[in-house]
Chains A and B, each alone.
Chain A
Amino acid sequence: MVEMLISGFASILTLKGILLIMGGVILGLIFGSIPGLTATMAIAICLPITFGMDPIDGMALLMGLYIGGVSGGLIPAILLKLPGTPSSIATTFDGYPMARNGEAGKAFSFAIVASFLGGLLSILVLIMIAPPLGKVALRFGPFEYFAIIIFALSLISSLSGKSLAKGMMAGLLGISFAMVGAAPIDAFPRFTFGNSAMDAGFSLLPVLIGLFAISEILINAEKTVKDNLKVNMKKISYKVSLKEYLGQGWNWLRSSLIGLGIGILPGIGGGTSNILAYVAAKNSSKNPEKFGKGVPDGVVASESSNNAAIGGALVPLISLGIPGDTVTALLLGGLVLHGLQPGPLLIQNNGDIVYAIFAALLVANVFMILFLFLGMRGFVKMLSIPQNILMPVILGLCVVGAYGENGRVFDVGALFFFGLLGYLMVKYGFPLTPLVLGFILGPLLETNLRRGLMLSQGDFMPFLTSPIAAAFLIFTVGSIGLKIYSNWKKKRNARTQQFELLEGEQ
């Protein structure tokens, strides 16, 4: 294996190979950092260019784009509270408050290092144990997916902020919006009101950037120019001590493993892993109340998990020829067009190319951390751009992104609709993340429920008796129980304190 890896490095470390990876990382970072443009789009655009290259060069470019595209999302997430891609939703939770507190530089340092290490861990896992891990993914059928999604939905309780009721309402609203359009399985149109433009339903990108970006622009528009954030550029500190990094070690590992695990399971995707890792970090922290106010832990959790999902998503692709998300589906197409046969024999028959892909990933990961650190001071300067110039530019980019995904004007309308909805929700104290989570997971839940019932010919028992599914359901009940208990304890403590105070007064 070591020899194969060395020859993999040898085949990409040509001037052309290095330039392609570098170009890919830069282009990917640009796509990732612009709200509405994603790694998927960058790869879709560049895929035809790779047709004319030899397979190794083509893959080198695509891997650069993939790593860059996933990592670039952290820039607008931290600076502007706009998730550049679904993978960096949770980065906004603490990254943006840190930037507001004048710690943008520090947030970047944490996010970049976390991205690098999360990616590195997952790439190493991919190189070493892809085939056995791929087999694990095969054990997940509809019953198991159903249970995992139920578990993920239960996280809404941790993402609801002050009011659990409002969080639940937002989550249910998300599930409802996801039901518009063609139903899973039989593709019959639902809630379209006879309007054929609604047949395809709402796609994730306009919903996401509408809720987060457009609403934020509207909120900013309320403020007078005087309110503008005045950042003293010289005061921004970038220094993070080694001790602070080391303090994130356990958080980093846990988040990376979550990202890796979600990445390996085809179909769930990076949009979920960062939220999951964030909640895990929050729930196991000694100071959960500080989350959302600007703690590096939140940034580290989100950014290490989304980059770890890269290696995870490549596991089933390389070992089984099964793509887990839209990006890996494109990569699968790229492999086929280069005359490779993705499947169980890929490593055996085309080991040279597979190990060149591994080497390209490792090199791209290094370029990613390099470019982000070099560019960091430049990105932070964005904060000094007056809002009245910056916001319209972002608005334009959001529209381009919403239109660009599917080339439909309907999506632009949806963007503004969800923008307005997001604005109203923020105004009335409803959290946005449960809506997105419900929107992403609702259709997956329904699809797997219906598929499971077809498989069991209408029997609900397998949803409970499959060992993996049962484990996740017990986990869900346990975590909800724990949450209720801790809330109850908190309330009781507060009450006894009040009593004591009252007694003391008497």
Chain B
Amino acid sequence: MKGIWKKITFGAAAIALAAGLGACAESDQAEGESNSSSGYPEKPIEVIVPAGAGGDTDLNTRIMAKAMEDELGKPLVVTNVTGAGGTTGTQKVKDAKPDGYTVLAFHNSMLLNKIYGLADYTYSDLKVAGVGVLDQSNTFVVSKDSKFKNVEEMIDYAKENPKKVTVATEVGSMTYMQILQIQEETGVEFNIVDVGGASDKITALLGGRVDIVPTSLGLVQGYLESGDFVALGVMAEERLEDAPDIPTFQEQGVDLVVDKVFLWAFPADTPDEIVATFTEAMSKAVESKEYQEEIKKSWLNPTYLNPEEASKKLSEVEAEYQELHELTEGQ
């Protein structure tokens, strides 16, 4: 009897091992298709994401990393280095060996950390490799029972009830800047409360603890479809292809256009050839059909910006934030 069990155990272990090897073989296939001439990359590249696993920063990076593996022929290993509002991960890349094997994937928060004095460096202290996706689906959502269902009604209601309309955010984040911007533009006063990350905001809105949640459309798709949430508007220049029924903020009289820029950057002293190889792979990856399909699932805009375009975009965003910060300081 015991003998049989032993055989079954070994059998099971052997099968599991085989399954594991099979999976490995699958992920190794990419290695054969190396097409870079300079010899870079010769080993796996570590991608540092200064945000938690499972969030949109993490997901977008993983999708991009997967598409780039096919172009570069070496695995891109995504590591989440969380803490201190993203400064820990950013610092790690800044201090890494500039050999092209450590790269940062992050977004606008990096600019804010500098502005708020949480970090003494920003994107320009690194070598920007480019941008692979722009999130133009920034929105304000309210519950289906809300007293206002579009931006105009929101502003009227907030003016009648100063400091009574509760808006959820994380202090010092992108959405915090959006709220400040609306307050500046329209003269309304919200009650701004910190409730945590994207899913905590959904919980707070479902639980009726807040009135407005600033988020990305892709993160609340299910709730928009079920009718539990209503989007007041989208902060883009034009209505989104995937959500043609949601009007822009501009259409509704509030001049607010926000791009969440997902940038990739190397330590400052990384050789230009390496960054060039990497950014070329990025541009090809963004073109690929799989990448486009995956990214569009979250209603995001697959856009490639080369290092110069990316830096220009970031400097525009930074100037906007800086101005807003100076305007609202002390409030």
Q: Do A and B bind each other?
A: yes
Question: Which residues on A are within 8 Å of B, measured CB to CB?
Answer: 19-20, 22-23, 26-27, 40, 44, 47-49, 51-52, 137-142, 181-182, 185-189, 196, 199-201, 203, 266-267, 316, 320-323, 326, 328-333, 336-337, 339, 341-346, 371, 374-375, 406-408, 447, 450-451, 454-455, 457
* Pick from B8, B66, B204: contact of A141, CB under 8 Å: B204
Give the CA-CA distance A337 to B84 in the complex, in Å: 27
Q: Mark B133-172, 1 if CB is under 8 A from A, else 0.
A: 0000000000000000000000000000001001000011
**A406/B83 in contact, CB under 8 A:** yes
A72 to chain B, nearest CB (A): 14
Contact partner of A200 among B83, B199, B223, CB < 8 A?
A: B83
Interface: B317 (CB within 8 A): no
CB contact under 8 A between A341 and B225, given known A138-B207, A320-B202: yes
Indicate whether B275 reaches chain A with its CB closer than 8 angstroms.
Answer: no
Chosen A-B contacts, 12 in total, with CB atoms closer than 8 Å, are: A49-B27, A141-B204, A199-B88, A200-B83, A266-B200, A333-B59, A341-B222, A343-B221, A406-B80, A407-B79, A408-B81, A451-B193
Distance in angstroms from A254 CB to nearest chain B CB is 27
> Cβ of B202 and Cβ of A181 under 8 Å apart?
no
- Inter-chain CA distance A181–B88, complex, in Å, is 10
* Contact present for A330 and B54 (CB under 8 Å): yes
* Contact indicator A343/B226 (Cβ below 8 Å): yes
Q: Pick the contact of B66 from A48, A200, A344 — CB < 8 Å?
A: A48
Interchain CA distance A447-B92 in the complex, whole Å: 26
Q: Does B71 contact A (CB under 8 A)?
A: no
Q: How many residues of B contact A (CB 8 A)?
A: 66
CA distance A321 to B46 in the complex (A): 30
From A316, which residue of chain B is reached at the shortest CB distance? B203
List B residues 46-86 near A (Cβ within 8 Å). 46, 48, 52-55, 58-59, 62-63, 66, 78-85
Is residue B280 within 8 Å, beta carbon to beta carbon, of the partner chain?
no
Q: A339-B297, A341-B221 are in contact. Are A141 and B200 (CB under 8 A)?
A: no
Main secondary structure, interface of A, reads: helix
Would you call A49 and B171 a contact (CB within 8 A)?
A: no
Is the Cβ of A52 less than 8 Å from the Cβ of B26? yes
Using a CB–CB distance below 8 Å, which chain B residues touch chain A?
Answer: 5, 8-9, 12-13, 15-16, 19-20, 23, 26-27, 46, 48, 52-55, 58-59, 62-63, 66, 78-85, 87-88, 91-92, 116, 118, 163, 166, 171-172, 191-196, 199-200, 202-204, 206-207, 209-210, 220-223, 225-226, 228, 294, 297-298
Interchain CA distance A455-B16 in the complex, whole Å:
51
Q: How far is the CA of A322 from the CA of B222 in the complex (A)?
A: 12
| Residues in B whose Cβ lies below 8 Å from that of A451 | 193-196
In the complex, are the beta carbons of B53 and A326 less than 8 A apart?
yes
C-alpha spacing A182/B192, complex, angstroms: 21
Contact B298 A323 (CB under 8 A): no
CB of A142, distance to nearest CB on chain B (Å): 8
Instruction: Check if B88 sits within 8 Å of A200, measured CB to CB.
Output: yes
A residues near B8, Cβ cutoff 8 Å: 374
Residue of A nearest to B120 (CB): A196
Alpha-carbon separation in the docked complex, A20 to B228 (Å): 36
Residue on A nearest B78 in the bound complex, by CB:
A48
The reply to whether A345 and B172 form a contact with Cβ atoms under 8 Å apart is: no
What is the chain B residue whose CB lies nearest that of A328?
A: B54
Given A20-B19, A374-B5: A344 and B223 within 8 A (CB)?
A: yes
Say yes or no: A332 contacts B163, CB within 8 Å: no
Say yes or no: A201 contacts B297, CB within 8 Å: no
What 5 pairs between A and B have smallest CB-CB spacing? A343-B222, A200-B83, A329-B54, A187-B85, A182-B84
